[in-house]
Amino acid sequence: MRRLVPGVICVLVLSAATVCFANDAFTKLGRGVANALTGWVELPKNIYNVSVEENALAGVTLGLAKGAGMTIVRTGAGIYEIATFPFPLPQDYKPILEPEYVF
């Protein structure tokens, strides 16, 4: 019983620590790499979202245009974050896009 209580306390402390999230240079670098590599996912995502919200024709036309634009924006933001990851720009390494990731 004496070993069980400290073990449970350690598990609780370590599991609570995973909830904490710090914005730092390497988080920004990881976010930049993820966005640069997965920016193309914006295209099918926007086609699908517009198709569900409107109709299939709007998804193929408006969704395609919106997805193509967001692909360029997300990939460009990823490249920007990779290039500037050592610097706290914007303040405290906050993401420049919302949501942070395409998925």
pLDDT digit of tens for each residue in the chain (103 aa)?
677 777 666 665 655 544 445 589 999 999 999 999 999 999 999 999 999 999 999 999 999 999 999 999 999 999 999 999 999 988 889 999 999 999 8
Burial class, 100, CB count within 10 angstroms (exposed 0-12 / middle 13-18 / buried 19+): middle
Specify whether the CB–CB gap between 59 and 47 falls below 8 A.
yes
pLDDT of amino acid 1:
67
Q: CA–CA distance from 60 to each of 53, 63, 97 (Å)?
A: 12, 6, 24
According to the model, what pLDDT value does residue 103 have? 86
pLDDT score at 16:
53
Q: What is the per-residue pLDDT for 14? A: 59
pTM, rounded to two decimals? 0.75
